[in-house]
């Protein structure tokens, strides 16, 4: 029973009931100032108003019951009828000991079906750019948050590997290597040439209808099963994959499935006629669409296009076909939720796709969620660009962060792999900046700020872990052992209270698909630890106090490293 907030709310409700008051809406909030105690409850105000009674009287009746409970150190009625609650130190210490002994650190294991996460979503043949950063780090973090709740997750990258861009590129490669037979051209192309040819090909097709017609024909050939087109495509997909996989691995983004739009071609071929036959899809001006508008819509939701008038499938078709396939795939068969971590600008697309899936009866019983996010911006507040005004490559951005980290970290320790450390710190800075803000707002990519060892940054929280680790190492060397947590000093109590926030942070993060809840929690623990560190000597304390403080340090280290794990951030040994 480490669920502190749930416990307090329960006590409150009982006390309200005892005073013959309704309990609905009775809950606690964290106290706004430490001198008010640990928690506050404002329910008496609303109840007093409804019952036309003085809220202070209601609050006083509740306070009387709560005061009889030895787990509260004080219960006060303040102002017009606020209840200020302070828990007894012994009670907090007991909870902290329970948390320390719990393998999940008190995180509630929810149980339930596995969750499928669709994120990454890179298009083949292009290098990953800054826009992919958010999907990758948020998607990976959500996957870990669900795992921390004991849920199984299945992650699928859903490559964009089947559209017109493939025909454009195959055409461009064949032109660039006129001596080679079609079907063998993909083999000779390296990643650099591919990434150079791709934008050239796109521009050429835009400017020249002949080139565009060629690209369309090649795309149709590829999708129609032409062996040469398919061989060239497979080779360039493999080259692109190897390149992008390097970035996924470096970011620690793990995928169970590397499927893509190409994997559902056969499903698309049978799904569209099937939906038409069932009357779910219909012809509209030569195209095939599914109407998805609903009477309660406040803005117009256009139909989902399944087939353009030229017969080509769309982005929506492949997403719908993917939903049709997932219940049959061994890996995703049992998933009860599909979570799509994709740019907020695609929210209409997902509304259409999810509604179309419902109408078509695909993946019955599955809950669909689109987890959107805002853009990464430059210092000017506009979407991030390179100095030359181009799209920033993800790799360059990460390299820059790691280079900055290399300047800051202490490489003098012979036991530390300086390069590994620079990678850990640089990536922590980038991930923290991304995950610590609400995902729907954009944020400014300010390397200087995110790299600071002070303030709300990844390196600051990593550094807190390193300092705790150093205390533990010195204690071990001195033969000092931890005992059980006991709380005497206010800074000890504050640190224990901060640690006890973990279960709530995880619950809020999972419910709102909000990794920033975890970051906010970790930052609060790191700050509480800083204060504890300055005010409470550990190794220099007397034997009993030292042992109890070591135990508290162990708990702080455990919750902080678990939180950083959920954010995909490494805990370095030294810094
Ligand atoms: N490839 C898409 C794009 O670049 C993103 C894919 C997101 N996932 C999905 N299931 N639609 O916009």
DSSP-assigned letters across all residues of 191-259: HHHHHHHHHHHHHHHHH-HHHHHHHHHHHHHHHTT-HHHHHHHHHHHHHHHHHHHHHHHHHT---SB--
CA of 124 relative to ligand 1 center, distance in Å: 11
**Contact indicator for 83, 63 with CB cutoff of 8 Å:** yes
State residue 312's pLDDT score: 86
- If you measure from the C-alpha of residue 162 to the centroid of ligand 1, how many angstroms do you get, rounded to a whole number? 12
SS3 284: strand
Nearest Cα residue to atom 8 of ligand 1? 121
Q: Give the helix/strand (H/E) hosting 181.
A: none
Last residue of some domain: 371, 397, 421? 371
| Ligand 1 atom with least separation from CA of 160 | 1
> Which distant-in-sequence residues (6+ apart) come within 8 Å of 488 by Cβ?
89, 545
| Confidence at residue 51, expressed as pLDDT on a 0 to 100 scale | 85
The side-by-side arrangement of strands in the sheet containing 72-78 is 29-30, 39-41, 82-87, 72-78
Q: Of the candidates 251, 271, 299, which is a domain's last residue?
A: 251
**208 shares a domain with 76:** no
CA of 179 to the centre of ligand 1 (A): 35
Domain shared by 206 and 246, yes or no: yes
* Nearest-CA residue for atom 5 of ligand 1: 121
The DSSP symbol for 490 reads H
Rounded to two decimals, what is the model's pTM? 0.95
Sequential DSSP letters for 377-422? E-TTSSBPB-TTSSBPBHHHHHHHHHHHHHHHS----TTS-HHHHH
What per-residue string of b and e applies to 563-573 under the rule 16 or more CB within 10 Å gives b? Answer: bbbbbbbbbbb
Counted domains in the chain = 3
**Residue 247 sits in the same domain as residue 261:** no
Q: Are residues 193 and 124 in the same domain?
A: no
Q: Which of 117, 134, 315, 347 to mutate to test the pocket of ligand 1 (most atoms within 8 A of CB)?
A: 315
Please state, in angstroms and rounded to a whole number, the distance separating the CA atoms of residues 209 and 131.
Answer: 30
For the CA of 121, the nearest atom of ligand 1: 6
Say yes or no: 150 and 170 in one domain.
no
Written as tens digits, the pLDDT of the chain (575 aa) is 568 888 899 999 999 999 999 999 899 999 998 889 999 999 999 998 888 999 999 999 999 999 999 999 999 999 999 999 999 999 999 999 999 999 999 999 999 999 999 999 999 988 899 989 999 999 999 999 999 999 999 999 999 999 899 999 999 999 999 999 999 998 899 999 998 999 999 999 999 999 999 999 999 999 889 999 999 999 999 999 999 999 999 999 999 999 999 999 999 999 999 999 999 999 999 999 999 999 999 999 999 999 999 888 899 999 999 999 999 999 999 999 999 999 999 999 999 999 999 999 999 999 999 999 999 999 999 999 988 888 899 999 999 999 999 998 887 888 889 999 999 999 999 999 999 999 999 999 999 999 999 999 999 999 999 999 999 999 999 999 999 999 999 999 999 999 999 999 999 999 999 999 999 999 999 999 999 999 999 999 999 999 999 999 999 999 999 999 999 999 999 88
Asked whether residue 230 falls in the same domain as residue 315, the answer is no
Q: What is the CATH number of the domain that holds 360?
A: 3.40.50.620
For residues 362 and 320, the answer to whether their CB atoms sit within 8 Å is: yes
**CA distance between the termini of the chain:** 35
> Where in the sequence is the domain holding 192, given as residue range(s)?
164-251
561 in any annotated domain: no
How far away, in angstroms, is 546 Cα from ligand 1 center?
A: 54
Alpha-carbon gap, residue 139 to 151, rounded angstroms: 15
- Any idea of the CA torsion for 213, 181, 245, 169, to the nearest 10 degrees? -20
- Within a domain: 377: no
Nearest CA to ligand 1 atom 7: 121
Domain-located, residue 448 = no
Q: Of 71, 87, 103, which residue sits at a domain end?
A: 87
In a domain, 337, yes or no: yes
Extract the tokens encoding 564: 């950083």
Q: Is residue 12 part of a domain?
A: yes
CB contact at 8 A, 221 and 268: no
Q: Residue 441 has what pLDDT?
A: 92
Structure tokens at 395: 């790799």
CATH code: domain of residue 14: 3.30.1360.70
Task: Check whether residue 261 and residue 133 sit in a common domain.
Answer: yes
Kindly provide the residue ranges of all beta strands, DSSP E only, lying in 217-353, ordered along the sequence. Answer: 282-284, 287-290, 304-307, 337-341
3-state secondary structure of 458: helix
Q: Are residues 336 and 281 in the same domain?
A: yes
Q: Which of 121, 157, 323 to mutate to test the pocket of ligand 1 (most atoms within 8 A of CB)?
A: 121
**Cα(59)–Cα(57) distance, integer angstroms:** 5
Residues 193 and 168 in one domain: yes
My answer on whether 315 and 243 are in the same domain is no
Minimum CA distance residue for ligand 1 atom 6 = 121
Question: Looking at the domain assignment, is residue 171 inside a domain?
Answer: yes
> Which tokens is 543 given?
């034997």
Structure tokens at 425: 């710190």
C-alpha 138/C-alpha 374 separation (Å) is 12
Ligand 1 binding pocket (C-beta < 6 A) is 118, 121, 123, 158, 160, 319, 340, 342
Q: Is 332 in the same domain as 274?
A: yes
* Ligand 1 centroid distance, CA of 110 (Å): 29
In a domain, 464, yes or no: no
Residue 484, SS3? coil
Distance CA 273, CA 264 (A): 15
Q: What distance in angstroms lies between residue 190's CA and the mean position of ligand 1's atoms?
A: 24
Residue 232 lies in a domain: yes
Nearest CA to ligand 1 atom 3: 121
Q: Whose CA is nearest to atom 2 of ligand 1?
A: 121
The verdict on 234 and 288 lying in the same domain is no
């Amino acid at each position: 029973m480490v669920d502190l907030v749930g416990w307090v709310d329960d006590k409150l409700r009982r006390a309200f009931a005892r005073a013959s008051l309704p309990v609905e809406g009775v809950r606690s909030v964290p106290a706004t100032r430490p001198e008010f105690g640990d928690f506050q409850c404002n329910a008496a105000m609303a109840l007093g108003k409804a019952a036309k009674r003085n809220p202070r009287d209601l609050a006083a009746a509740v306070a009387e019951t709560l005061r009889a409970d030895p787990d509260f150190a004080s219960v006060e009625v303040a102002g017009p009828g606020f209840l200020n609650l302070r828990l007894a130190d012994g009670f907090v210490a007991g909870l902290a000991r329970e948390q320390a002994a719990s393998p999940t650190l008190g995180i509630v294991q929810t149980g339930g079906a596995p969750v499928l996460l669709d994120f990454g979503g890179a298009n083949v043949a292009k290098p990953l750019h800054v826009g992919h950063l958010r999907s990758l780090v948020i998607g990976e973090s959500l996957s870990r948050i669900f795992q921390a709740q004991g849920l199984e997750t299945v992650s699928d990258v859903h490559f964009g590997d089947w559209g017109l861009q493939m025909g454009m590129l195959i055409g461009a490669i064949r032109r660039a290597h006129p001596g080679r037979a079609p079907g063998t051209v993909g083999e000779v192309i390296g990643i650099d040439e591919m990434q150079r040819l791709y934008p050239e090909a796109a521009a050429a097709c835009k400017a020249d209808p002949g080139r565009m017609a060629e690209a369309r024909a090649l795309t149709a050939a590829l999708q129609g099963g032409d062996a040469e087109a398919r061989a060239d495509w497979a080779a360039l997909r493999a080259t692109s994959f190897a390149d992008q996989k390097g970035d996924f691995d470096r970011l620690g983004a793990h995928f169970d499935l590397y499927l893509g739009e190409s994997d559902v071609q056969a499903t698309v071929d049978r799904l569209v006629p099937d939906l038409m036959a069932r009357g779910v899809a219909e012809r509209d001006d030569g195209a095939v669409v599914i109407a998805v508008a609903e009477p309660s819509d406040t803005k117009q939701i256009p139909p989902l296009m399944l087939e353009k008038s030229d017969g080509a499938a769309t982005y929506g078709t492949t997403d719908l076909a993917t939903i049709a396939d997932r219940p049959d795939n061994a890996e995703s068969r049992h998933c009860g939720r599909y979570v799509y971590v994709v740019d907020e600008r695609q929210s209409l697309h997902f509304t259409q796709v999810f509604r179309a899936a419902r109408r078509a009866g695909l993946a019955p019983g599955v809950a669909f969620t689109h987890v959107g996010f805002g853009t990464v911006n430059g210092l000017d507040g506009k979407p991030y660009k390179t100095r030359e005004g181009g799209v920033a490559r993800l790799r360059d951005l990460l390299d820059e962060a790691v280079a900055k980290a290399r300047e800051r970290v202490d490489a003098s320790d012979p036991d530390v792999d300086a390069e590994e450390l620079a990678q850990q710190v640089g990536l922590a800075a980038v991930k923290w900046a991304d995950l610590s803000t609400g995902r729907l707002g954009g944020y400014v990519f300010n390397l200087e700020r995110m790299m600071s060892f002070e303030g709300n940054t990844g390196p600051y929280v990593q550094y807190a872990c390193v300092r705790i680790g150093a205390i533990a190492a010195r204690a071990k060397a001195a033969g000092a052992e931890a005992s059980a947590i006991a709380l005497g000093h206010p800074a000890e109590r504050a640190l224990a209270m901060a640690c006890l926030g973990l279960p709530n942070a995880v619950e809020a993060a999972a419910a709102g698909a909000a990794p920033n809840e975890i970051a906010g929690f970790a930052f609060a623990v790191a700050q509480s630890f800083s204060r504890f560190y300055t005010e409470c000597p550990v190794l220099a304390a007397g034997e009993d106090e030292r042992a109890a403080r070591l135990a508290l340090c162990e708990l702080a280290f455990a919750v902080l490293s678990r939180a950083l794990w959920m954010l995909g951030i490494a805990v370095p040994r030294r810094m």
